[in-house]
């Protein structure tokens, strides 16, 4: 309820509407940060306008470069992960592309793991074909392949832990020290750990990337990414690239991520626990050859996971017995009632997909006969795990019955 005194104006009605002052926020205090919208952000005077040329910092010069909602999100992400700098950007993939473009120019070389998030391979191929940036892939389970792939022009070593779809955990400590000894910058896709379960800056990384789209959002309704760093020079290169490309994020989207962050640790842990219960139940099913989850000792790199991580996500993969076809794997996913068929993860609903990886990547995953069956990736949401298990069992039982009537 509000009552206002009417003051006759000397301006016309259109001027009055544009220039009337907002009410004071004095005396109002609450947890949420307001959604600060504004493309033009006003300067006190010309001197203040001319002074905002510093490319890094909390300057309010233009809406594209930041507002208090965005900077509050950036600050909280830095606090969670122990970084000194944060850049928020339109998606997780943008975040990775920015790191690559901040570190690499024509004639430079970078390393990516062969189990990297798929679109990063496309990025590497495109930077090579269009801009002459070289890249090599290494085996995340074999540090020697990192050592042998390093070249005199290697400027960036990219890592992901665990790897997309197959969840191998690399020896991050060894990779970082090899890269550092070589003078290359290092970056990690830390989406799986959500900035919580692995702390890249305690291990010497220059950049950490998170797809905020996943757990930080948590409600499957925003796309956003972040790059964190505590290397001021490296971050300045990143910030410059971001400005050149003219990237920005919506303050309303930042507000939704800020809201998601309040429950991030709770959701992450609950979904992780639930996911592990589901993963253990799946191991018992006769149609399942193997469950790829870093918590299990048979997961490649389990010892590194135990050494470096203090938590885990609720996304993992299941390898069916090699006697099952891709068609039967699709039928299992199609039979699920509670799982939606969709990309992404970290939201309230459980998701499932049949995923394809090249044969060359299956050598760490094959059974005793050297075979690897179809792979299902599951992302566990906030539902009750018993219901999810019952759903998966009915779908797997139906597949087993059709295989062994
Ligand atoms: C989803 C995801 C990304 C990309 O995030 P978007 O916001 O969807 O662009 C990057 N890395 C990993 C590991 C992801 O799961």
For residue 144, the CA-to-ligand 1 centroid distance in Å is 27
pLDDT in tens, 25-50: 999 999 999 999 999 989 999 988 88
Q: Which two tokens stand for residue 107?
A: 């004639």
In this structure, which topology does domain 264-403 adopt according to CATH? Answer: 3.90.1150
Residue nearest ligand 1's atom 8 by CA = 92
Q: 6-15, 17-26, 248-257: which has the minimum mean pLDDT?
A: 6-15
pLDDT beyond 80 at 52: no
Give the number of C-alpha atoms closer than 13 A to the C-alpha of residue 292, restricted to the C-beta side: 30
pLDDT mean over 325-337 = 97
Residue 71 has a CB neighbour count (10 Å cut-off) of 19
Q: What is the pLDDT of residue 7?
A: 79
The angle, 0 to 180 degrees and rounded to 10, between the axes of the packed helices 264-283 and 385-403 is 30
pTM for this model (two decimals)? 0.95
pLDDT beyond 90 at 152: yes
Q: What is the pLDDT of residue 49?
A: 85
- 189 in contact with ligand 1, CB cutoff 6 A: yes
CA distance 307 to 74: 28
For residue 389, the CA-to-ligand 1 centroid distance in Å is 26
Residue that is written with structure tokens 């995923």 in the block = 355
Q: How confident is the model at residue 361 (pLDDT cuts 50, 70, 90)?
A: confident
Beta bridge partners of 89: 225
For residue 126, the CA-to-ligand 1 centroid distance in Å is 18
pLDDT beyond 80 at 143: yes
Mean pLDDT of the chain: 95
CA distance 159 to 112: 6
Residue that is written with structure tokens 């496309």 in the block = 122
- 67 in contact with ligand 1, CB cutoff 6 A: no
- 69 in contact with ligand 1, CB cutoff 6 A: no
For residue 16, the CA-to-ligand 1 centroid distance in Å is 46
Q: What is the pLDDT of residue 55?
A: 45
Domain ranges of the chain: 50-261, 264-403
* DSSP character string of 204-239: T-SEEEEETTTTTT-SS----EEEEES-HHHHHHHH
- 211 in contact with ligand 1, CB cutoff 6 A: yes
- 223 in contact with ligand 1, CB cutoff 6 A: yes
pLDDT in tens, 87-114: 999 999 999 999 999 999 999 999 999 9
CATH tag, 50-261: 3.40.640.10
- Which residues, in sequence order, are CB contacts of 295 under 8 Å at separation 6+? 276, 279, 302, 305, 312
- 217 and 254 Cβ atoms separated by less than 8 Å: no
Q: For residue 77, what are the CA distances in angstroms to 83, 194, 255, 260, 383? A: 8, 10, 13, 12, 27
pLDDT in tens, 172-221: 999 999 999 999 999 999 999 999 999 999 999 999 999 999 999 999 99
Residue 281 has a CB neighbour count (10 Å cut-off) of 18
- 215 in contact with ligand 1, CB cutoff 6 A: no
* Domain 50-261 matches domain 264-403 at the CATH topology level: no
pLDDT mean over 291-297 = 97
């Amino acid at each position: 309820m509000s009552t206002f005194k009417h003051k006759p104006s000397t301006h016309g009605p259109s001027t009055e509407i544009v220039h009337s002052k907002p009410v004071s926020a004095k005396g109002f205090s609450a947890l949420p940060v307001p959604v600060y919208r504004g493309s033009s952000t006003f300067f006190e005077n010309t001197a203040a306008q001319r002074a905002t040329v510093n490319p890094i910092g909390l300057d309010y010069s233009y809406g594209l470069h930041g507002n208090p909602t965005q900077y509050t999100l950036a600050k909280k992400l830095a606090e969670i992960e122990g970084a000194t700098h944060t850049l928020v950007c339109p998606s997780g993939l943008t975040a990775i592309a920015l790191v690559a473009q901040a570190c690499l120019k024509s004639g430079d070389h970078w390393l990516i793991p062969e189990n990297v998030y798929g679109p990063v391979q496309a990025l590497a191929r495109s930077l090579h074909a269009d801009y002459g940036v070289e890249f090599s892939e290494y085996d995340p389970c074999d540090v020697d392949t990192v050592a042998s792939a390093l070249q005199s022009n290697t400027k960036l070593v990219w890592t992901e832990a665990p790897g997309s779809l197959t969840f191998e955990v690399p020896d991050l400590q060894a990779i970082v020290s090899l890269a550092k000894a070589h003078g290359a910058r290092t970056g990690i896709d830390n989406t799986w750990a959500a900035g919580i379960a692995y702390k890249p800056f305690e291990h010497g990384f220059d950049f950490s990337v998170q797809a905020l789209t996943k757990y930080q959002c948590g409600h499957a309704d925003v796309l956003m990414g972040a790059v964190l760093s505590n290397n001021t020079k490296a971050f300045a290169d990143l910030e410059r690239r971001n400005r050149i490309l003219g990237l920005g994020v919506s303050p309303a989207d930042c507000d939704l991520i800020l809201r998601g962050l309040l429950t991030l640790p709770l959701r992450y842990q609950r979904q992780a626990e639930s996911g592990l219960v589901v993963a253990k139940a799946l191991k018992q099913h006769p149609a399942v050859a193997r469950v790829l989850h870093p918590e299990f000792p048979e997961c490649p790199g389990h010892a590194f996971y135990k050494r470096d991580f203090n938590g885990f996500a609720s996304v993992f993969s299941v390898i069916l017995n090699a006697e099952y076809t891709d068609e039967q794997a699709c039928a299992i996913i199609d039979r699920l009632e509670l799982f939606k068929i969709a990309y992404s993860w970290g939201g309230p609903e459980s998701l499932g997909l049949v995923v394809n990886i090249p044969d060359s990547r299956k050598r760490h995953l094959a059974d005793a006969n050297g075979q690897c069956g179809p792979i299902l990736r599951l992302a566990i949401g906030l539902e009750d795990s018993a219901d999810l298990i019952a759903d998966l069992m009915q779908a797997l039982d139906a597949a087993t019955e059709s295989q062994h009537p």
